[in-house]
Structure 1
Amino acid sequence: MDDEPQTPETLFHTAVGVEGGLGVLALTLGYFLGPDARELVPAFNQLPALLGGVGLGILATFPLLLLMAVIRRIKHPAVEQLDQLSEHPMIELMLKLGPAELLVISLCAGVGEELLFRGWLMPAIAQLLHGDPVSLLSGDPSIVRPWWAFGGWTSEIANELSRNSSAAGESAAVTWSGLTQWWSNSIGWEMTVAWILSSIGFGFVHPISKLYIGVTGLMGLYFGALLILTGNLMIPIIAHALYDAIQLWSAAAEEASKDAKSA
């Protein structure tokens, strides 16, 4: 018996299932093997950090949109191939979905892929190389920090500011040398290698074209840097999801415009 042709609705269910399944996989691996990606997401009793992560994630989307706008201005066959992704059978079918359904797919992709690649894989590789867990969170929970300092470098800045009431501009932690010193002391080569390897892996699970693999690899580096610098996984989750949603909405609008002109 022949398989029934895939419809936008069945594609929606498949996409949500696959992307959501990545998140379940990340949580399962973290539960049984560690590290636990949930530790990098602020809990509901940490509402300022949670909402702050959402806000910073929205802001973090704009550099990605700028990057793609610059890439699309480059005259090269590989870029032209990237612009023709809407003609890919799966993408073409997906673009027939409504804005709300595209948003749901994007949210599932942001949550699922970030939990797996940034929340679990990157710390897991670092732990494997180091021999012990490499935490992006502060080891002293007694220190009350502002909403923007959930972990990472921002936590170091908050720690120094709490010890020194001088202005942030006079704090050594916010200088380039302060960042590099913190990275060397707190992140080390293990997390740096894990950051790079997990980003390469992120690129290769998007094998639509060679350029797309490279672009998504760069995005993986960006999402990983957001997590390392802030310790707040909500930021790359929102940035990833919103970027995907905007790209899908834009492509769907272009396809609808083409269909209207050809009608």
Structure 2
Amino acid sequence: MDRDTFLRTAIPFEAALVPVAALLAWILGVSLRDGLQEPAHGIAWGIGATIPPLIALVVVRALPWAPLRRVGEFLNGVLGPALAACSLAELALVSLLAGLGEELLFRGALQPVLGLPVASVLFALAHFITPTYALLTGVMGLYLGWLATASGTLWTPIVTHALYDFVAFLVVIRDVRRQRTQDPQAD
């Protein structure tokens, strides 16, 4: 996938989740506005709450388990070149839109009605690249859902999700650049 395709796909898709979440919340009788109170509190929580999943990212990447390696190879091979061609601002925009759209949908609209486990399973299914990636994403969904409940605001999982995605993008870019340096003919 190239940069333009990635951006033309990711930005509208993630942005479209915001009105989808709002419509679904309205249909289900859920108030997204209630979950968006206390932004400063939620943003502060969200920044701090990004640390555990980033530690998990480091640990998971270090494990010598073949399914985990395949996830990394897929992300580096398919998304890596596109991400490496993006500016930091573009990566930040995609990350922010993903955090906002996905959290409004899964934690804001669905979790209050379906509960944390079901919303997390749906989150995992929406990110199904491989079974291992879906499992990891489901665990992240549980964590983000817990953050929404524990902090009392959707800002916490929104910020955590966005920051995590941004750093994960940078990790993939680092891997791709490292691979290019080691094997300049790989492109």
Q: Same fold (TM over 0.5)?
A: yes
Task: Within 5 Å, give how 1:77-156 maps onto structure 2.
Answer: 77-125=66-114
Q: Which structure carries more relative contact order (alpha carbon 8 Å, separation 6+)?
A: 2
Give the Å deviation of 1:38.
2.3
Equivalents in 1 of 2:167, 2:113: separation in Å? 31
Code of the aligned partner of 1:116: L
Task: Within 5 Å, give how 1:230-241 maps onto structure 2.
Answer: 230-241=151-162
Residues 117, 198 of structure 1: 8 Å contact kept: yes
Give the Å deviation of 1:112.
0.4
Query: 2:35 aligned with 1:40, yes or no?
Result: yes
Query: 2:46 aligned with 1:57, yes or no?
Result: yes
Corresponding residue for 2:139? 218
Deviates more, 1:95-104 or 1:57-66: 95-104
Equivalents in 1 of 2:110, 2:154: separation in Å? 13
Give the Å deviation of 1:59.
0.5
Structure whose CA Rg is larger:
1
Alignment partner of 2:50: what SS?
Answer: helix
Corresponding residue for 1:189? none
| TM-aligned CA distance change 1:261 to 1:11, over 3 Å | same
Deviates more, 1:110-119 or 1:248-257: 248-257
Structure 2 unaligned blocks of 5 or more: none
% of aligned pairs identical? 32
Deviates more, 1:109-118 or 1:205-214: 205-214
Corresponding residue for 1:171? none
Cα root mean square deviation, aligned: 1.7
Equivalents in 2 of 1:100, 1:225: separation in Å? 29
Code of the aligned partner of 1:16: I
Equivalents in 1 of 2:49, 2:95: separation in Å? 16
Residues 80, 173 of structure 2: 8 Å contact kept: no
TM (norm. structure 2) is 0.90
Residues 30, 37 of structure 1: 8 Å contact kept: yes
Corresponding residue for 1:200? 121
Code of the aligned partner of 1:13: R
Residues 12, 94 of structure 1: 8 Å contact kept: no
- 1:74 aligns with one of 51, 55, 63: 63
TM (norm. structure 1) is 0.66
Residues 61, 242 of structure 1: 8 Å contact kept: yes
Count how many residue pairs are aligned between Structure 1 and Structure 2.
184
Corresponding residue for 2:7? 12
Equivalents in 2 of 1:16, 1:38: separation in Å? 23
Give the Å deviation of 1:88.
3.8
Structure 1 ranges of 4+ moved more than 4 A: none
Residues 84, 173 of structure 2: 8 Å contact kept: yes
| TM-aligned CA distance change 1:70 to 1:224, over 3 Å | same
Structure 1 unaligned blocks of 5 or more: 1-5, 43-48, 126-193
| TM-aligned CA distance change 1:75 to 1:262, over 3 Å | closer
Give the Å deviation of 1:254.
2.5
Residues 27, 38 of structure 1: 8 Å contact kept: no
Alignment partner of 1:70: what SS?
Answer: helix
Query: 2:19 aligned with 1:30, yes or no?
Result: no
Code of the aligned partner of 1:111: L
Give the Å deviation of 1:77.
0.8
